[in-house]
């Protein structure tokens, strides 16, 4: 069985304070951080324990906050990247931490979903971090939120990045009719796939790979079909994935987030992103 696992532990804090992001509104206590560390170590141990079972995994760390400022996430990425039955381990990160540890990674399996926040860092610093990944041959994309005050910074980042590094733009959807046709054209020139994210897709009753071979795992071990669906479908450590896997049509009216709609077969986005779906790199940009 080949499974894609999105993992989110107890962590709910970030070293950035972006006004549009809920991740920046809390500060985790020492107890919560200890819980998060223990949860992650249990998860990595479970994955290790599946060696020889015939199961293969692609894993994406998608925390409510910045993961890589915590040593246990860096250690987990290194450990997982060297497991034979793990095909990929990726992480969502603002790329603010030192990257000297990445030399320990299996570069063929590690990937970064690097988010650029113009109000939190400088272009030169973020670019310097990204170029460390680039020079090491580690797969990564650069992403940002398409807020109008950021347009100039987004365009500048696109000009500064190597042409073969994909820069994606998440549409800002908190306000209806936020973009004019001219705005969309500007962002489309930066991200040729921007219109995919601009849309909200009717999903109720539609087929989706989530709950079948894509699962959202919480630090407690509880498993959901996808991050947005609040219903629990089972428990990783009690049930295992094979027992939980079945076709589960979406029960939500709409899906507007990449990590959700990308798994809807009718959109055929697997063909766009191929083996780099987790780190969000279209095949036209992949090395």
Q: Return the closest-CA partner of residue 219 out of 72, 120, 24, 118.
A: 72
Question: What per-residue confidence (pLDDT) applies to 27?
Answer: 75
Q: Which CATH class is domain 2-276?
A: alpha beta
Instruction: Quote the pTM value.
Output: 0.94
Residue of 169, 175, 259 lying closest to 215 (CA atoms): 259
Could you say which DSSP state residue 65 is in?
A: S
pLDDT digits over 149-174, tens only? Answer: 999 999 999 999 999 999 999 999 98
User: Rounded to whole angstroms, how far apart are CA atoms 225 and 244?
Assistant: 10
pLDDT at 118: 92
| pLDDT value at residue 9 | 93
Alpha helices in the chain (DSSP H): 30-49, 71-81, 123-136, 151-160, 181-190, 194-198, 236-239, 241-244, 258-261, 270-273
Intervals of the chain under pLDDT 70: 13-26, 28, 286-287
- pLDDT tens by residue, 42-60: 999 999 999 999 999 999 9
8 and 62 Cβ atoms separated by less than 8 Å: yes
Structure-block tokens of residue 270: 């697997």
pLDDT of residue 231: 93
Residue 87: is it exposed, middle or buried by C-beta count within 10 angstroms (0-12/13-18/19+)?
Answer: middle
């Amino acid at each position: 069985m080949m499974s894609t696992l999105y993992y989110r532990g107890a962590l709910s804090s970030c070293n950035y304070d972006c006004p549009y992001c809920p991740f920046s509104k809390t500060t985790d206590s020492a107890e919560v951080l200890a819980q998060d560390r223990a949860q992650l170590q249990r998860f990595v141990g479970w994955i290790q324990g599946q060696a020889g079972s015939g199961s293969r995994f692609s894993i994406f760390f998608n925390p409510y906050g910045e993961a890589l400022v915590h040593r246990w996430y860096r250690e987990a990425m290194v450990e997982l990247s060297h497991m034979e039955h793990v095909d990929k381990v990726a992480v969502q990160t603002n790329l603010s931490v030192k990257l000297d540890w990445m030399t320990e990674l299996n570069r063929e399996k590690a990937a970064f979903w690097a988010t650029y926040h113009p109000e939190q860092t400088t272009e030169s610093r973020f670019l310097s971090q990204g170029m460390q990944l680039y020079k090491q041959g580690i797969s990564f994309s650069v992403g940002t939120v398409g807020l109008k005050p950021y347009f100039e910074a987004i365009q500048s980042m696109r000009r500064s990045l190597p042409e073969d590094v994909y820069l994606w733009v998440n549409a800002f959807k908190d306000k209806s009719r936020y973009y004019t046709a001219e705005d969309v054209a500007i962002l489309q020139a930066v991200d040729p796939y921007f219109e995919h994210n601009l849309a909200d897709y009717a999903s109720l009753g539609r087929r989706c790979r989530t709950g079948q071979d894509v699962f959202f795992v919480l630090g407690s071990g509880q498993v959901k079909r996808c991050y947005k669906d609040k219903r629990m479908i089972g428990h990783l450590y009690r049930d295992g994935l094979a027992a939980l896997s079945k076709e589960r049509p979406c029960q939500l009216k709409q899906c507007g987030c990449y990590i959700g709609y990308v798994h809807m077969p009718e959109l055929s986005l697997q063909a766009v992103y191929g083996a780099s779906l987790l780190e969000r790199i279209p095949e036209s940009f992949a090395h």
